[in-house]
Structure 1
């Protein structure tokens, strides 16, 4: 199954009371589809998955599948640091009609490479859905080695995607050269999309895609067509946006930016807090300078 080159890990819009804002979920999805996103990740960490309930995750998957109506693929974030809970959620989301699942490296536990292998193998083998592995050592404190990723993709046929967020281009090149040929590698870092493509990656699972989807799509297409100069120019132009989106705990800056576009409210769930005025001013400055509007 082809999930495309521009995938976006979507926020979960919330009301002031903290409930999921369903009309705004639809608004965000329509905006992403209109600006080039080919697959949407729901209930991922950008969607504040650690503070979503089990029931909310299932409701999000059902709603997203209905709203997408086949126009884009839907990937559900079903990974966490509890293997059995991940197996159970993965099994349940299959009935919602999602097209795949994303499994993040377990956070806090600090598993060994063998622990990572056993964890991902157990969850992936519990489903027939395509599986994306998500390596993000900056958040999980553990880097999944290339040996472990290759071992998993060699032995578990439905592991067909890897979101690689180590920022280590040598690791990316090693992975691309050794992985199973049908496994897609995606950058998980918006500031390194072109370097990752140069290393052999297939696309990006983006956060900035909420605000600059059309530019990111143009950048990827330029690179694929051999215009590395144009791709690099777009990449450099988007760096201030990426820095702004991660100036403090994500997705607080992104939700504020999306609120400025009228697509959602800025509300987040504790322990994440909304931006203070100085941080809002920085985001506003970047949006104005890049002429980002709805």
Structure 2
């Protein structure tokens, strides 16, 4: 699945001051990423505040992004949750005509066993008309999908083609890379570890910071996949401070502060999230200036 190799970005959902969707800002963001080297776009993930976007708004987002994109980049749609039947129903009733893949998070809150995780994704795979990227993010789900479960799913279902691993666990990344099936993709979901994963044999990243600095970040990942470590780390070290900053309070408030400083969108988020503090916003502006970005 070469369309998911490289840098995918987990798009924010920009909001106006009244917290309605800012479609003008969203168009700027999509065009900015297309023009600056992003390989594919991910819609309605955690960074897109999917839990506070209504089903109607989600349909509007997909339709709008598909129209702006106009087939230029592959599109991945987030469809996941801890109610398996509801996830399957959403898959059955979604128009996938402009979508290339599904990103589906491991069930959160319920804390299922490994067998429960397997059965959840089995039900999804049996109904999905598109390739599936599994999403393991233990810090949000409170349960870790182990490599043995990931690869059991990959072996049993041809449409499960990748995992977005976001456990910030170097050992688990290496175990995934060591034991993965030949054509299965290991994608980093941790911006700070993405280069190391690429250099070790990973296929890329689904990034948060990448949407704000797409030219630099996507070039770093390309160099990493090509095993050009020195050139890649030159970029990595420059991006380290701002990458750390965006996760210091909450995601996506941090990345929205960066995009606000770049005049792409506003910093507004929906409760229970709150905007980045003034101190963080100022630190981000200073760091972007040092990168020649403001």
Note whether the superposition's TM-score is higher than 0.5. Answer: yes
CA shift, 1:96, in A, is 4.5
1:117 is displaced (CA, Å) by 0.6
Displacement of 1:228: 0.8
Partner Cα distance (2:43, 2:226) in 1: 30
Q: Does 1:263 align with 2:264?
A: yes
What is the count of residue pairs matched by the alignment?
Answer: 293
2:135 alignment partner, SS class: strand
C-alpha distance in structure 2 between counterparts of 1:181 and 1:57, whole Å = 34
Does structure 1 conserve the Cα–Cα contact (< 8 Å) formed by 2:71 and 2:98?
no
How far apart, in 2, do the equivalents of 1:281 and 1:108 lie? Answer: 35
State the 1:18 CA deviation.
Answer: 1.3
* Alignment match, 1:272: 273
CA displacement at 1:198 relative to structure 2:
2.7
TM-score where L is the length of structure 2: 0.95
The 1:90–1:292 alpha-carbon spacing in structure 2 relative to 1, beyond 3 Å, is: farther
Q: Secondary structure at 1:46's aligned position in 2?
A: helix
Equivalence for 2:123: 122
Gaps of 5+ in 2: none
Distance 1:161 1:199 in 2: 16
CA shift, 1:241, in A, is 1.0
Aligned to 2:61: 60
Residue number in structure 2 paired with 1:2: 2
Task: Give the match for residue 144 of structure 2.
Answer: 143
Which 5+ residue runs of structure 1 have no aligned equivalent? none
Kindly state the Cα deviation for residue 184 of structure 1 after the two structures are TM-superposed: 1.2
Tell me, in whole angstroms, the C-alpha distance in 1 between the residues paired with 2:62 and 2:182. 29
**Aligned-pair distance for 1:220?**
2.1
Which stretch shows the higher mean deviation, 271-280 or 93-102?
93-102
Deviates more, 1:269-278 or 1:167-176: 167-176
Aligned partner of 2:163 in structure 1 is 162
Q: Distance in 2 between matches of 1:50 and 1:154?
A: 31
SS at match of 2:164: strand
* Aligned match of 2:77: 76
Counterpart secondary structure, 2:187: strand
Distance 2:84 2:57 in 1: 19
Aligned partners of 1:158, 1:237: CA distance in 2, in Å?
A: 37
Q: How many Å separate the matches in 1 of 2:125 and 2:60?
A: 22
| Residue equivalent to 1:91 | 92
Point out 4+ residue stretches in structure 1 off by more than 4 angstroms. none
Contact 1:167–1:189 (CA under 8 A) maintained in structure 2: yes
- Contact 1:134 1:162 survives alignment (8 Å): yes
Contact 2:220-2:236 within 8 A present in 1 as well: yes
Cα distance between partner residues in 1 of 2:92 and 2:30: 24
Which position in structure 2 is the counterpart of 1:26?
Answer: 27
The aligned counterpart of 2:241 is 240
Residue 203 of structure 2 contacts residue 225 of structure 2 at CA under 8 Å; is this kept in 1? no
Root-mean-square deviation (CA, aligned residues, Å) is 1.4
